[in-house]
Amino acid sequence: MDMVLPEGLGHVCSTTGIPKKEVNRIWITMTDEKIQKALQEAEIADMITCPQAFAIAEKAKVSRSAVGEYCTKNRIKIRECQLGCFK
């Protein structure tokens, strides 16, 4: 169950006691780092194919949409899209 912080600062995670916004920021940072590492290991810098993006998601243990969002933020073009998953 979430608790409200004093003075309207938002909600905290009941497990960690950390404000939810901070938990989300940490999760996004960790996810981006996993994707970045997987892309570097695959030597992918500015373009990726859809099958490669699926493999990166599996290797980094993140969602395909997280890979798509990362690529969009970092201007990595996704080519040969199979199902329109990535834009």
Q: Mean pLDDT, the chain, as a whole number?
A: 76
Distance, in Å, from the CA atom of 48 to the CA atom of 27, rounded to the nearest integer, reads: 24
Q: How many CB atoms lie within 10 A of CB 7?
A: 6
Token representation of residue 29:
């940072």
Q: Which residues contact 77 (CB under 8 A, 6 or more apart)?
A: 46, 47, 48, 71
Q: What is the per-residue pLDDT across 6-47, written as a single tens digit (0 to 9) for each?
A: 444 456 555 555 555 555 555 556 788 899 999 999 999 899
More confident residue, 12 or 82: 82
Q: What is the pTM of this model?
A: 0.64
Q: Tell me what the mean pLDDT of segment 49-78 comes to.
A: 90
